[in-house]
Amino acid sequence: EIVLTQSPGTLSLSPGERATLSCRASQSVSSSYLAWYQQKPGQAPRLLISGAASRATGIPDRFSGSGSGTDFTLTISRLEPEDFAVYYCQQYGRSPITFGQGTRLEIK
């Protein structure tokens, strides 16, 4: 199975700053079938990005995804207070579907 490793484990930033989250795959993810989710405490995950770079409906344009092959990035251009949460990447290019372990984005 494809193992996804997210870094850093925890990212401490202030509102207004730029956040860069990394997701590295143990094998190439075919067709850039990589998604990103945001999860807040007590809530279900919310889809942010699919196909490595396509924003889901209703997701603000401060969220952007990039990458291909084994290296993918989620960038939040200017952090809003509501962006502090845990972020997960997921690959769906090869069975079984796998998720990264998550990056916690916390307020500095």
Partner 1 sequence: EVQLVESGGGLVQPGGSLRLSCAASGFIFSSFEMNWVRQAPGKGLEWVSYISSSGSTIYYADSVKGRFTISRDNAKNSLYLQMNSLRAEDTAIYYCARVPRGYYDRSGYYHDEWYFDLWGRGTLVTVSS
- Return residues touching partner 1 (CB under 8 A): 33, 35, 37, 43-47, 50-51, 56, 88, 90, 92, 95-102
Minimum distance, C-beta of residue 7 to partner 1, in the bound complex (Å)? 14
Contacts of 72 (CB under 8 A, 6+ apart): 22, 23, 24, 25, 29, 34, 52, 65, 66, 89
Minimum distance, C-beta of residue 98 to partner 1, in the bound complex (Å)? 7
Minimum distance, C-beta of residue 65 to partner 1, in the bound complex (Å)? 12
Is the Cβ of residue 13 or residue 47 nearer to partner 1 in the bound state? 47
Any idea what DSSP says for residue 14? -
